[in-house]
């Protein structure tokens, strides 16, 4: 039993070594695929994808009638913060923003650009807008903050949250990441090339060299019989005669076609 397991382990090791040698033999293909796909991902990201910019406005939820020392008031503020998360990105607020700024888009497209978050253990509401134009992203974030504060005051009969920060236009794009996409393209290229080499090595079982006899059949090569000179000449002459016959048959077919015309 132990000998059988040892033989199996030896065969597995030989297979792994053969695969490693196959990868080393085809290293140029792997490098070419890696560089090609990385360059393609870089060019596509830089010249084909529209860069996006983000701007963030911030609200602070605290009722004027509450006291910071009251635990009940703090819990109430936290509950209101969770409610306001839904209100800020609701349809009435975003539709009003579209009308205020005369945006050429609808509620659905604007909703996809808006992200409302509540940092952990705080009563802050962060309104982040992503757009291809940094100034427009700032304008949308600022107007959402103002419109949602008025909406909460009028419709929910609550003190409006305070706008403690309007958006900024930093002109620092948030997407796409050229470095990340380039590295991803290079990794995909290397993976595809390695997979092709491995699959080809496992499927291709033809014996071409004396080393293949030892690696694929597990046999020891004792001697090698060279081909005689006469055999080489006859083999090459057969090839030449076969090629000449092919050319003659092709010429005959062409002549027959001309005669029929």
- Whether residues 14 and 95 fall in one domain: no
- Whether residues 20 and 66 fall in one domain: no
Q: Select the more confidently predicted residue: 144 or 123.
A: 144
- Calculate the average pLDDT of the chain: 78
Q: Does some domain include residue 150? A: yes
Q: Select the more confidently predicted residue: 1 or 196.
A: 196
What the block records as the tokens of 9 is 């382990």
pLDDT, position 17 = 78
Q: Does some domain include residue 26? A: yes
Distance CA 206, CA 202 (A): 11
- Whether residues 116 and 68 fall in one domain: yes
What does the pLDDT look like over 95-141, one tens digit per residue?
A: 999 999 999 999 999 999 999 998 877 888 999 999 999 999 999 99
| Predicted TM-score (pTM) of this structure | 0.62
Residue 210 Ramachandran class (φ > 0 left, ψ -120 to 50 alpha, else beta): alpha
Q: Is the alpha carbon torsion for 230, 233, 236, 239 positive or negative? A: negative
What does the pLDDT look like over 162-220, one tens digit per residue?
A: 899 999 887 788 888 999 999 999 999 999 999 998 888 777 666 666 666 666 556 66
Distance CA 26, CA 46 (A): 31
Report the domain count for the chain.
2
Q: Which whole-number Å values give the CA distances from 67 to 22, 46, 157, 187, 208, in the listed order?
A: 73, 52, 19, 56, 87
pLDDT, position 43 = 95
Which of the listed residues 119, 154, 174 is the one where a domain comes to its end? 174
- Whether residues 86 and 170 fall in one domain: yes
Distance CA 42, CA 45 (A): 5
- Whether residues 125 and 86 fall in one domain: yes
Range of the domain at 25: 2-48+177-209
H/E segment holding residue 217: none
* Cα 70 → chain centroid: 50
Q: What percent of the chain has pLDDT over 90?
A: 41
pLDDT, position 255 = 47
- Whether residues 91 and 130 fall in one domain: yes
What does the pLDDT look like over 233-242, one tens digit per residue?
A: 555 565 566 5
What the block records as the tokens of 40 is 């393609």
Q: Does some domain include residue 164? A: yes
């Amino acid at each position: 039993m132990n000998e059988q397991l040892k033989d199996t382990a030896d065969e597995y090791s030989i297979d792994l070594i053969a695969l490693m040698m196959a990868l080393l033999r085809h290293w140029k293909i792997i490098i070419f695929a890696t560089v090609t796909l990385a360059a393609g991902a870089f060019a596509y990201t830089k010249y084909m994808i529209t860069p996006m910019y983000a701007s963030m406005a911030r609200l602070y939820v605290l009722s004027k009638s509450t006291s910071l020392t009251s635990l009940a008031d703090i819990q109430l503020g936290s509950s209101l913060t969770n409610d306001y998360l839904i209100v800020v990105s609701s349809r009435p607020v975003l539709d009003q923003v579209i009308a205020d700024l005369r945006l050429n888009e609808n509620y659905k497209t604007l909703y996809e650009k808006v992200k409302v978050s509540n940092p952990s253990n705080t009563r802050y509401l962060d309104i982040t807008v992503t757009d291809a134009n940094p100034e427009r992203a700032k304008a949308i974030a600022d107007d959402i903050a103002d419109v949602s504060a008025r909406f909460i005051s009028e419709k929910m009969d609550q003190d409006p949250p305070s706008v403690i920060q309007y958006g900024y236009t930093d002109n620092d794009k948030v997407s796409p990441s050229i470095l990340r996409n380039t590295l991803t393209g290079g990794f995909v290229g290397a993976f595809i090339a390695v997979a092709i080499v491995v699959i080809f090595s496992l499927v291709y079982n033809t014996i071409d060299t004396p080393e293949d006899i030892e690696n694929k059949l597990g046999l020891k090569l004792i001697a090698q019989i060279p081909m005689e000179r006469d055999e080489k000449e006859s083999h090459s002459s057969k090839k030449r005669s076969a090629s000449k016959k092919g050319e003659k048959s092709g010429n005959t077919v062409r002549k027959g076609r001309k005669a029929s015309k």
